[in-house]
Amino acid sequence: MHERLSPRRLRQQYFTEAEAQLLAIERAIKLQRPACVAECAGRLAGASAIAGAELVVPIAAELEACADAHDLSVAAHLLASIEHALVETRGTLHFPAI
């Protein structure tokens, strides 16, 4: 049987996973691996939608779409925008940085 997580614990888990996805995206951008960027950005967009991180969803989805088109020309900019959106989201939820 699965343990039911509290909303606070779910948010903690979301931010931990989001940070891991950001690192994976950054690494994939540096290595010019658009398929990996798209996969990680898609995961982040989905998790963000579930977690209610509404600022992150459209940016991560845009990064996924660009990477699916094998266009990483704006990937670093979008990654920085996602990082900023996560900071804003964390502040909105009154959550300290990890």
Assess if residue 43 is contained within a domain: yes
**Which pLDDT band holds residue 97 (cuts at 50, 70, 90)?**
low
Assess if residue 15 is contained within a domain: yes
pTM (2 d.p.): 0.88
Assess if residue 98 is contained within a domain: no
pLDDT at residue 95, rounded to an integer: 54
**Which pLDDT band holds residue 96 (cuts at 50, 70, 90)?**
low
How far apart (Å, rounded) are the C-alpha atoms in residues 95 and 73? 32
Assess if residue 73 is contained within a domain: yes
Domain that includes residue 40, residue range: 7-92
pLDDT at residue 83, rounded to an integer: 97
Structural domains in the chain (count): 1
**pLDDT > 70: what percent of the chain?**
91
Q: Of 18-32, 37-51, 83-97, where does mean pLDDT reach its minimum?
A: 83-97
How far apart (Å, rounded) are the C-alpha atoms in residues 24 and 6? 27
Q: At what angle do helices 34-51 and 7-30 cross, to 10 degrees?
A: 160
